[in-house]
Structure 1
C-alpha cells in the first residue's frame, strides 16, 4: 500500500487532493488551480458583458463572488474538469440517465470522482484492484470488485454526485506494481479526525497510567519510611530500658552486699525492706573492696545452699551457684544476685559481720 500516492486533507484543498490522487502524483498546486479558476471567471465575465456593461445581469454578476473558487481553497467542478482536460481526460456524470442507459458495469471503468457538499475525492483502479483515495482517510481503502457497485450506490443514496473519468490516465508506479501482485488489507483506514481523537485518548490514558503508577510507587516508600522510624524509636527505647535495668542491677547488688537496700530501690519493691543500720555508702568503697565483698557473698551463699535445701529458694540458689562456678559473665551474676536479694528479703550475709 505504500506505493500508492495518497494526499491527506489540508484545509479545504480537497479538489487538489482529488486530482493528485487520481493522477498519482503532485501534478497540481493551489496556485495552478487558482489560475484556472480566474481564467474561468474572466470567460464568464466576457460572456455576461455581451449583453451590455450597463445591463442588470452584468452588474449583478460583477458584484457576486467567484463561483469557481473561494478563500478557503474550494474549487468548482469546472476547475477540475479544465484541469483534467490538460491530460486529455473528461468527466461524465455517472448519475445521469444518459449514462445509466448505456448499462456500463462500473468495474470496467478506470476511475470515479465523487462530490458531496463541496468535498471531492477519487475512487480509482490500480492494477486489478479498486481503492478509495479519499483525502479524509488515513490511507487508501481497498474496495473489492463485488463491493464497488454497492459502494457507488450507497454514495448516490447519500446525495453524492459521481463522475466517471474517461480517457487514458498517466502511467504510475503503483499501477505497474499492482498489475503483478494483489494486496490484502487487514485493517481498514479510519477518518483522520477519528484517528486523531483515538491518539489523544490513548495519550491521556498513558499519562493517567503513569501518574497512577507514580502514586502507587510512592505509597510503599512512605510506608517504609514510617516503618524505619518506628524501628528506630523501638531500638532507642530498648537501649534506654537496658541502661536503666543495668543501673538498677548494679545498685541492687551493691546494696545486697552491704546488707540492705537503698530507700530509692525500696520504693519500687513489692514489699518494704528495712535498712540495716551501719550500712556504708557504696560510693565510698573501692573496686577491690567491692570485689572482695562480692566474693565473700557468693561463698556465703554456697554455704547457705546446704542449710536451706528444703526452702523454696533452693532452685534459685543452685542456679546462681552453678552460674558462678561455670564462669558466668558479670551481667548474669548481677541479675542472679539481684534475684537472690529480693527472694531472701535482704538477709545480711554473715561474711559482712566479720
Structure 2
C-alpha cells in the first residue's frame, strides 16, 4: 500500500486532504482552496447586491462571516465541487431519492466523498479494490466488495452526507499497479488519536519501568551494591579476617618454637617473612621478631625474680606449693627447664595477640 497516496490530518484541512486523496496527489493547497472560496463569496455578494446595496438583506450579508471557509481551514461543499470542476468531475448526492431510484450498485462507481459535521474524507476504488482514505486514519483501509454497501449504509445511519464522484479521475500510479495485483491487509489502520494515545501510554509505561528499575537497582556510576549483597560482602570479609587471625596465631606458635630451639636468625626470619606474606595484617610483625621475643622474655624473668625476692622476706619459700609461676621466677640460667621457658614465652606472646585483637575490635 506504499504506492497509495494518503494525506494525514493537519489542523482542520480535511477538505484539502479529501481532494488530494481522491485525486492521488498534491493537487490542491489551502491557498488555492481559499482563492476558490473568495470567488464564491464575491459571486454571492454580487447576487445580493442586485436587490439593492442599501437593503437590509445586503447589509446583513456583509456582516456575516464567509460560509465557504473559516480560519480553521474548513471549506464548504461548494468549494470542493468547484475544485473538482477543474478536472471535469461532478458530485451527485448519493443519499438523494433520485439517485437511489437508479438502483446503481456502489461497486460499479469509482469514488465517493463523505461529510459529517464539517469533516470530509474519500472512499475510492484503486485497481479492483476499494479503500477508505480518511485523513483521520494512519493509513489506507482496505474495504472488501461485500462490505462496501454495508459501510456506506452505516455512514448514512450515522448522519453522513455521501456524494458520488462522476467523471474520469486522473491517472495515478496506485491505480495502475493495483490493476495487476491485489493487496491484503493484515492489520487495520488506527485513528490518529488512538495511535498518539497508544504511543504516549507506551512511553509512560517505559518511563515507569525505568523508574522502578532505578529504585530497585540504583546505579550512580560507582558500582553500588544493594543491601543484601553488601551484607554478604561484609560477612565474607569478617570470615576472611577470622581465618587470617587463626593463621597468624599458628604462625606465632611455630615462630616461638623455632626461637626456643635455637634456630639461626636467618631461618627464623624467613619463616616470619612467609607468615607475613600469607597474612592480610602486618600489625603483628614486631611480635614475630625473635629479638623482641627474647627481650620480652628477659623482662618477664627479671620481673618475676624481683617479686620472688620480695616474697622471701615475708614467708618461707619451701612452705608454699610450687606453681608454674614460681618456677618461672627462678633464674633463667638455673633450674628452670626449657619446657617451662617455652610455655612462659608462648603465654606471653598469646597474651600480646589477645591484647592486639581486643584493640582492633574496639577500633
Q: Which residue is 2:203 aligned to?
A: 203
Partner of 2:328, secondary structure, is coil
Q: What's the CA shift string for 1:157-182, capped at 9, x where partnerless? A: 00000000000000000000000000
2:280 pairs with 1:231: no
Q: Which residue is 2:178 aligned to?
A: 178
Q: Give the alignment's Cα RMSD to 1 decimal.
A: 3.6
Deviation at 1:200, TM superposition (A): 1.1
| Equivalent residue runs for 1:147-186 within 5 Å | 147-186=147-186
Deviation at 1:214, TM superposition (A): 3.9
Q: Which residue is 1:321 aligned to?
A: none
| Equivalent residue runs for 1:184-263 within 5 Å | 184-218=184-218, 221-222=225-226, 223-237=228-242, 239=244
Q: Which residue is 2:56 aligned to?
A: 56
Against the structure 1 CA distance between its residues 273 and 105, is the aligned structure 2 distance closer, same or farther, given a 3 Å change threshold? farther
Q: Which residue is 1:82 aligned to?
A: 82
With structure 1 as the length reference, what TM-score do the two structures score?
A: 0.71
Q: Which residue is 2:328 aligned to?
A: 279
Q: Which residue is 1:129 aligned to?
A: 129
2:44 pairs with 1:44: yes
Against the structure 1 CA distance between its residues 273 and 24, is the aligned structure 2 distance closer, same or farther, given a 3 Å change threshold? farther
How far, CA to CA, are the matches of 1:277 and 1:119 in structure 2?
Answer: 116
Deviation at 1:218, TM superposition (A): 4.4
Q: Which residue is 1:107 aligned to?
A: 107
How far, CA to CA, are the matches of 1:9 and 1:163 in structure 2?
Answer: 21
Partner of 1:10, secondary structure, is coil
**Does the 8 Å contact 2:127/2:180 carry over to 1?**
yes
Q: Which residue is 1:13 aligned to?
A: 13
Deviation at 1:83, TM superposition (A): 0.1
Q: What's the CA shift string for 1:35-73, capped at 9, x where partnerless? A: 000000000000000000111110110000000000000
How far, CA to CA, are the matches of 1:278 and 1:135 in structure 2?
Answer: 111
Count of matched residue positions in the alignment of Structure 1 and Structure 2:
284
How far, CA to CA, are the matches of 1:273 and 1:43 in structure 2?
Answer: 140
How far, CA to CA, are the matches of 1:277 and 1:125 in structure 2?
Answer: 121
Partner of 1:66, secondary structure, is coil
Partner of 2:235, secondary structure, is helix
**Does the 8 Å contact 2:328/2:340 carry over to 1?**
no
Give unmatched runs, 5+ long, in structure 1.
264-271, 299-329, 339-354
How far, CA to CA, are the matches of 2:131 and 2:327 in structure 1?
Answer: 119
Deviation at 1:232, TM superposition (A): 2.4
With structure 2 as the length reference, what TM-score do the two structures score?
A: 0.69
Partner of 1:221, secondary structure, is coil
Q: What's the CA shift string for 1:285-335, capped at 9, x where partnerless? A: 6xxx79x943x679xxxxxxxxxxxxxxxxxxxxxxxxxxxxxxx99x969
